[in-house]
Amino acid sequence: MNPSQELTFSCPVAEGEEGKDAGGIFESIESGPSGAEELAFKFALNTINRNRTLLQNTTLTYDIQRINIFDSFEASRKACDQLSLGVAAIFGPSHSSSANAVQSICNALGVPHVQTKWKHQVSDNRDSYFVSLYPDFSSLSRAILDLVHFFKWRTVTVVYDDSTGTGLIRLQELIKAPSRYNIRLKIRQLPTETKDAKPLLKEMKKAKEFHVIFDCGHEMAAWILKQALAMGMMTEYYHYIFTTLDLFALDMEPYRYSGVNMTGFRILNTENSQVSSIIEKWSMERLQAPPKPDSGLLDGFMTTDAALMYDAVHVVAVAVQQSQQITVSSLQCNRHKPWRFGGRFISLIKEAHWDGLTGRVLFNKTNGLRTDFDLDVISLKEDGLEKIGTWDPPSGLNMTESHRSKTSNITDSLANKSLRVSTILEEPYVMFKKSDKPLYGNDRFEGYCIDLLRELSGILGFHYELRLVEDGKYGALDESTGQWNGMVRELMDHKADLAVSPLAITYVREKVIDFSKPYMTLGISILYRKPNGTNPGVFSFLNPLSPDIWMYILLACLGVSCVLFVIARFSPYEWYNPHPCNPDSDVVENNFTLLNSFWFGVGALMQQGSELMPKALSTRIVGGIWWFFTLIIISSYTANLAAFLTVERMESPIDSADDLAKQTKILYGVVEDGATMTFFKKTKISTYDKMWEFMNSRRQSVMVKNVDEGIQRALTSDYAFLMESTTIEFVTQRNCNLTQVGGLIDSRAYGVGTPMGSPYRDKITIAILQLQEEGKLHMMKEKWWRGNGCPEEESKEASALGVQNIGGIFIVLAAGLVLSVFVAVGEVIYKSNQNAQLEKRSFCSAMMDELRVSLKCQRRLKQKPQPPVIVKTEEVINMHTFNDRRLPGKETMA
């Protein structure tokens, strides 16, 4: 059949009935079968003529013309041919160039032009005889943008088909989004001369573009899906939005179980029973026609174009029903004489209301566009495409998907899936299992995270393969290159589906990967070796009082002794008769010499008596105050002595992060490229910022590659290791030479890492919450953290004192004894010298006599040395000592 061959169909009109002609111009490709629009055009006209419910006294006839696609000249010629026959309206063609040619003729001759394809309308549009049933694409763009916001996409790739030359114009609202919203938009174009999209898909896969909007027809969409499946791009990490309204009619059987996220729109109201009945009738007729090759459509499905054409014919029929005294006349293109009823008829069409296959049909009376419509939001599930929401211009997006019970159906998307799990060796989270037999695969590992992964697998039903991260790092951002490393990088590259390890949830990581809810909370603290107990010195009994206090006590003793001496000399009540039996004695004595006064003070301080008792009130006041002073001092000393001598004090050179920041003698560091390093690197707190400057300036000497290296450095050198508190708790349970210093520097949490946008995250989160509620997380922590334990610290109660505690007092005693011996020797020498002078003999003989008497231990008496001459009484009287004085009123003895 020649593509330009005219097909004219006419139906006989019964007597008494009025006939109205409709013209249809449809494109064909090289003698192919009739398209869906043409079949729907005839199906609608035949339905109206058969039912007689809409037009009781009018029969619609039609004239159908076929043209080659892109042939606008042929379209103009066919339109003129139809107008010469006398038609009330022209339907089609669909291609923009041909449609514009037909539209210009209809505008000139005043004949309504009905379109079911999107047509770009310029701002100064003068197509007053134009209506389109296809939803306005500015509204469709808003619907797509609402979906992007709902899915919280931050990066979007738009892939458009420019076969009609108006690709980007259709998506104006979406293209404007980056300037108004925080969305990064990348635009790519589909190849125009071929359906091979693999090179484009390969670039997108390499660039990790997971959120894609495809603006193309259903045929190209079917090709894209097939090629994406072949390239491994139909996984749960990809999310595609298709702008075609025929997504529901494509064969989705190969993709149902791929896990891919696929969303689209549907305007066909399939939930309405009347619509379903019409579609069923259509399917029966459609199956009689040979299917279009490579369309990608399921056999018998009514496409959106067909449904729109069906509704378009009915809208015109509604206008015909409301028209009165309107006749159709033959029009000639070369005469430029318009149809006199054209303006009235197009107004009736724009005012027509119809609830059709595509919902309610209403037109904008100014431009003839369909701006008010309802869309179903559909998404690919394992059971096929399902409705998950609706969209309409006034209300916007309304997601109505009924979420099934998460507790009973949580395993739906993960059951029997095989996941790649990245991890890292760190006690007690992940460790190599000790075994005499060679182990392989997942059996090589054990630890807290391994148990956690096993529990998650049991709840969600997935299988997993454990892999150690290649570079042995958790994941940090290199600011110079902008590249990530470690497990974070593997998640970003989709080399791993999960990261189950002590991976801290941080702000910078959250921007490139997703995290589950925390399975463990913790903070940064300091690991340092325990200080050795300070062995008390032999003079540790002096420790209860500071050196200053000891000096002040000595000065106080000297001062009180001097004051007591002076007051006793001046007070008359301190002078007394040394011979009570001789009341007539004119000699009185004062015992408080300077040395005796000092001895009194020392005796009181030592809580011993000195056999010197003050008699005067003034001296008793001095003595009482001194006794009270010594009471307080001795009591305080005794109370503090127990604490100093019975407890060996464990003094650490650092007690907090502030102590570390204030010194440079003790080195401190973190694991390189870990979350702890990131914390210090990004902190704004002055103390921690100062610590980071120190660590960064000595990066080679203080940074460690892993936790084990940091623990060994803390154990063997003067090094403080900054790390997670939970790991410190584990280490200190097994190594009694290490301890945690200070409290927590910050607060953080561990979570399971997933690639950005992973559908597994929420399900992992729910499973973790389930484990938490069941107490299994706590039991697993108890299992792996509980060690043999360190011996309890020695009792702080008082215990027997050893030589190492109070040996110094024996040294003081020995020194005092030695000093007394030397003083005694001095006294003997001094006294022997006095006796020798008194008795007028040699010093040696006097010394020998003293020694002879002293060595006779049984004798208590000795001969008092006598002078060789008698001393006169007057001289005796005058020889009173410094402590004696003559009583007043006594005469001098002659």
Q: Above 60 in pLDDT, residue 549?
A: yes
Residue 438, token pair as written in the block: 């060679």
Indicate whether 624 belongs to any domain.
yes
CA quadruple 626, 632, 638, 640: dihedral sign: negative
Look at residue 442 in the predicted model and tell me its pLDDT.
Answer: 92
Domain count across the chain: 6
Range 214-243 average pLDDT: 91
Closest CA to 249 of 209, 218, 211: 218
Residue 803 lies in a domain: no
pLDDT of residue 326: 81
Extract the tokens encoding 396. Answer: 């916007």
- Position 412 in a domain: no
The answer on 119 and 10 residing in a single domain is: yes
* Domain final residue pick, 716, 746, 776: 746
Query: What's the pLDDT tens digit per position in 796-841?
Result: 444 444 555 445 555 654 665 467 557 757 766 887 888 788 878 8
Give a yes or no: residue 251 inside a domain: yes
Q: pLDDT category, 497, cuts 50, 70, 90? A: very high
Residue 780 sits in a domain whose CATH number is 3.40.190.10
Give CA–CA dist 215/218, Å, rounded: 10
**252 and 386 share a domain?**
yes
pLDDT of residue 752: 96
**Distance between CA atoms of residues 308 and 94, nearest Å:** 12
In terms of pTM, does the model score above 0.75? no
Task: Please indicate, yes or no, if residue 127 is contained in any of the structural domains.
Answer: yes
CB atoms within 10 A of CB 8: 12
Together in a domain, 90 and 222: no
Asked if residue 408 has pLDDT above 50, the reply is no
Look at residue 504 and tell me whether its pLDDT is greater than 50. yes
Determine the structural domain holding residue 839 and report its residue range.
821-863
Q: How far apart are CA 735 and CA 729, in angstroms?
A: 10
* pLDDT tens readout for residues 622-680: 888 888 888 888 888 888 877 776 555 556 678 888 888 888 888 999 998 888 888 89
Specify the pLDDT at position 594. 86
Q: Does one domain contain both 23 and 94?
A: yes
Q: Examine the domain organization and report whether 262 and 146 are in the same domain.
A: yes
* 208 plus 345 within the same structural domain: no
- For residues 142 and 86, membership in a common domain is answered with no
Classify residue 301: in a domain, yes or no.
no
Pair (324, 380) in one structural domain: no
In the chain, the percentage of residues whose pLDDT exceeds 70 is: 81
Give the annotated binding-site residues for L-glutamate. Answer: 502, 509, 676, 724
Say if 288 falls within a structural domain. Answer: no
| 495/629 same-domain check | no
Cβ count within 10 A of residue 381: 15
What confidence category does residue 415 fall into, taking pLDDT thresholds of 50, 70 and 90?
confident
* pLDDT recorded at residue 241: 95
Same domain, 24 and 43: yes
Indicate whether 346 and 438 sit together in one domain: no
pLDDT band at 891, cuts 50/70/90?
Answer: very low
Could you tell me the pLDDT band of residue 865, with boundaries at 50, 70 and 90? low
- Gap between the Cα atoms of 579 and 667, Å rounded: 79
pLDDT at residue number 181? 79
Annotated binding site: 502, 509, 676, 724
pLDDT at position 777: 93
Q: Are residues 518 and 557 in the same domain?
A: no
- Which parts of 400-523 are beta strand (E)? 418-423, 431-432, 445-446, 463-468, 477-478, 483-484, 498-499, 513-515, 520-522
Residue 384 lies in a domain: yes
Could you give the percent of the chain with pLDDT greater than 90? 26
- On whether the CB atoms of residues 91 and 117 are closer than 8 A, the answer is no
DSSP label at residue 417? -
451 SS3 class: helix
pLDDT digits (tens, 9 = 90+) for 511-526: 899 999 999 998 899 9
CA within 13 Å, CB half, 834:
9
Kindly write down the DSSP assignment for every residue of 85-153, as one continuous string.
Answer: H--S-EE---SHHHHHHHHHHHHHHT--EEE-S-----TT---TTEEE-SBPHHHHHHHHHHHHHHTT-
Is the Cβ–Cβ distance between 286 and 280 less than 8 Å? no
Domain boundary among 646, 666, 684: 646
Residue 47 belongs to domain with CATH number: 3.40.50.2300
* Cβ contact 308:356 at 8 Å: no
Q: Tell me what the pLDDT averaged over the chain comes to.
A: 81
Rounded alpha-carbon distances, angstroms, from residue 158 to 29, 210, 228, 759, 824: 29, 11, 16, 22, 111
